[in-house]
Amino acid sequence: MIPKNKLSEKFDIIVVGSGLGGLTCALELARNGYKVCVIEKHISPGGYAHSFRRSGFTFDVSLHHFGGLSEGNSIHGVLKTLGVLDKIKYRPNKNLMSVRFPDGEETISNKPGAFEHFLKTKFPHEAENIDSLIVHLKDLRWHIIGEWIDPNFDVPMEKLLTGKYLDKTFYELLKEFVNDEKLIAFLSQFWMLIGLPPKLVNAIFSTCVCNSHFFEGTYDIEGGGAALSRAYVTRLIELGSQCIVNSEVKKVIVEDGCAKGVELKDGTVIGSDIVVSNCDPYQTFFKLVDKKHTSDLFRFRLEKMEKSVSAYSMYIGLDCPPSKLGVPDTTYFYNHFFEPLKAYANLIKGNIEQTDWCCTNYENSMINKNPGDYYTVNFFELTTTSDWFDLKKSDYEVKKGEIQKRLLDKYNTRFPGLKDHIKVLEFATPRTMNKYSSNAGGSVYGFAQTVEQSASKRLRNVTPVENLYLTGAWTWSGGGYEGAIMSGVQTVASIKKKWGSKNNAKPIQVKRIKSIKQKEKGVYEKDVRIYNKDVSAGGIADANCFLRMMDRARVDGGEKMFNIEIGTSLFDRYNIQVYSIHLKNYSRTFAGDKLTVITKHYKKSDFRILAHQTIQNRTTGKTTTDSAVELVCLDKEGTLISIPPEIDKPFKYNSELDSSTFLPASRNGTTIFNHYIRVYTEDTDLQGVTFHASYLRFCEETFFEFLDKQTKGKRIWDYWVFSDFYIRFLNSSHVGNMLDITMSFHKTANG
């Protein structure tokens, strides 16, 4: 740290507060050539990212989970670019977490893909939906943060997923893909580290935390949050900037509407071109900045914004390994219910015997360096501000002791013997949180992550005061280690937009590593979209639309997969004809929907190829249509031939893929109806052979004619959609032919 008497007279930028948001902002600015001074009022930098010692035990203040340190993840890329990553030692944890629900406890491995595997094993009926959800969450997260960490981020505005979820809760997002409420409880397990249950918290921030918490692994840092903060400061000084501690800022100097520096509590004045506040906005605009520099409306809106909850945190040093008391070697989440909203209601009521909590066991963590440190645990749970700030000191100590006892009894019930092995205990209340963070109300996550305060609805980094910026958990990126770090990145982006970089430093760049499954040979994907011409009078895409899309995908897939040499196509040598189609439609699609047709080819016999084609909605990730299309090969003379060798090679043989059976129209059916249709040029190909899609249209027309007669002209078919059909093509028809469509009705097995 730099003594105040050796400070430069003026800096380019002053950062008030040294939380991870402030440190990230300062370091990225220093990397871009700015001379920066970070000013911290406490004796050590880091905000919540620091540690303290009691009777030989070292306690990390807040590090329960730190994700994203593997290559290709956002935090890895940011810390690497800043020059911090090589200054810390870290390793992946053995376990991701342990969870307790009313029906039992589970410990989940931290190995890549383990969480997904756990979910699909525990909820096999949701396996396909889980896959779709995870892909969607990863895409959405990238759409949220990509522009800040990848200068080559090129997702067009119209394709961004973020707009869809600005007004949705995380629960609503999850329900688009999965239905099992117990599964949703597992997917929402991190809600205690956000401050709101899934039915109340916004989808944007939750998606970021979900990715970091579940899909990017959890890491152990030697020395914990304090070591991370020290690495920041070391790098900051290396770049010629400074950090002073134990120095409180009294006010931000504003002249002619522009921030010009700060005045410290001891009267020291430090000038700058820019000031960044890492303090909460209430300190910033009601204490540090004179009210005359902001409007009444701005301050009124600020006062009306909802703060996040606070927390109880119990730091315990034991005389034995926590594992001997049954404490899992990870972060353990205790859930009284499958519905987090019930636990949150108890939190609001102050019914702490029925509030959810988590416990982090540091027994094998690199956070601890001394032998005794290996016997530390931290219990953490959310709480309201209540009357903690209204109590005089003596009353405060009494209430603190009462709450501490009730909580300890609760934790001891789960881990019998815990109380008997305590050597050191420190208990933090909302008042403690306020003392060491100065956050209004002891808030631990900035503004509450409600839907009304989601993403761009939160405070921005730019303020009404020229050249005064904000960073930290109260801005739109939110709280937690990752949220604070990303806020620093976003603040620098706002500053550089106006002031630029002084040395043209390379921007932060995180190259996203997509988790793409290795495609089987003979698999092809084609993106399509529903247009007005593809839908019925009710605006719903019909089966003809799906058949056309599937046909295009098969043809394009054949071109892509089976080109023999440049400029020569498979279709120059053979005619590939549709022999049968079996299609099932699971959900409705509408004009504007974006779909992907996935085609997998299999060898069914020496003469038949089976194309398994599914159509997936790119927005929801759900399968809308599933089909099996049998294909046969003809030579140029129209003779049936065995599958050519150049087609045979990529295919997997599967003799079990049998076609569905069909029941031919018969006069023994319940009802019989005949309709005559002539084949016109528009129904045929260049050779005058009727398209297979035309036959479906003929059948559909026949069905509607039947309905018209039965209902005496009443229009009831606008919203009808075929859910299942099977067609086998026996003989071709040609332009000019008159076809007799016979329709009969039969009772199916399910009635």
Q: What DSSP string runs through 329-397? A: SSEEEE-S-S-HHHHHHHHHHT-GGG--EEEEE-TT-TT--SGGGGGEEEEEEEE--TTTTTS-HHHHH
How far is the C-alpha of 298 from the C-alpha of 399, rounded, in Å?
Answer: 36
The pLDDT, as a whole number, for residue 734 is 84
SS3 assignment for 650-687: CCEECCCCCCCCCCCCCCCCCCEEEEEEECCHHHECCC
Same domain, 491 and 531: no
Strand, coil or helix: what is 700?
Answer: helix
Domain shared by 159 and 12, yes or no: yes
Token pair recorded at residue 558:
């054949």
CA distances from 266 to 126, 246, 270, 279 (A): 62, 11, 12, 19
Give the chain's mean pLDDT.
86
**Pair (111, 216) in one structural domain:** yes
Q: Is the pLDDT score of 5 beyond 60?
A: no
**CB atoms < 10 A from the CB of 452, how many?**
12
Q: Which residue has the higher pLDDT, 275 or 683?
A: 275
**254 and 291 housed in the same domain:** yes
Query: What mean pLDDT do residues 574-596 have?
Result: 82
CA-atom Rg of the chain in angstroms: 32
- pLDDT attached to residue 538: 67
pLDDT digits (tens, 9 = 90+) for 231-276: 999 999 999 999 999 999 999 999 999 999 999 999 999 999 999 9
Query: For residue 508, what are the contacts with CB-CB under 8 A and spacing of at least 6?
Result: 28, 77, 78, 81, 82, 148, 149, 489
429 vs 610, more confident = 429
Q: Could you tell me the sign of the dihedral formed by the alpha carbons of 690, 692, 693, 697, in that order?
A: positive
CA dist., res. 110 & res. 119, Å (int): 13
Q: Are residues 494 and 600 in the same domain?
A: no
Does the residue 504 lie in any domain? no
> Do the domain assignments include residue 345?
yes
pLDDT, position 565? 47
Question: What CA–CA distance (Å, rounded) separates 605 from 692?
Answer: 22
CA dihedral in degrees (368, 374, 376, 378; nearest 10)? 60
Distance in angstroms (rounded) separating the CA atoms of residues 226 and 20: 11
Q: What is the CATH number of the domain that holds 318?
A: 3.50.50.60
DSSP strand pairing (652-653 vs 258-264):
unpaired
Q: Is the domain of 492 the same as that of 542?
A: no
**Model confidence over 685-735: pLDDT tens digits?**
766 778 777 887 787 787 777 777 777 666 655 555 667 777 877 777 888
Q: How many CB atoms lie within 10 A of CB 525?
A: 14
pLDDT, residue 428, reads 97
Q: What is the per-residue pLDDT for 141?
A: 92
Residue 308 located in a structural domain: yes
Answer yes or no: do 336 and 402 share one domain.
Answer: yes
Cα(741)–Cα(251) distance, integer angstroms: 86
pLDDT at 716: 57
Q: What is the pLDDT of residues 388-427, one digit of tens each?
A: 999 999 999 999 999 999 999 999 999 999 999 999 999 9
Q: Are residues 527 and 494 in the same domain?
A: no
Percent of the chain having pLDDT more than 90? 55
Note whether 442 and 311 are same-domain residues.
yes
* End residue of a domain, out of 450, 465, 499: 499
Kindly write down the DSSP assignment for every residue of 3-57, as one continuous string: -GGG--SEEEEEEE--BHHHHHHHHHHHHTT--EEEE-SSSSSBTTS-EEEETTE
What CATH number is attached to the domain comprising 632?
3.10.129.10
Q: Which domain holds residue 227?
A: 4-499
Work out how many domains the chain is built from and give that number.
2
- Distance between CA atoms of 152 and 170, rounded to whole angstroms? 28
Q: Where a domain ends, among 429, 464, 499?
A: 499
Q: Is the pLDDT of residue 658 over 50?
A: no
The model carries a pTM of: 0.70
Answer yes or no: do 543 and 486 share one domain. no
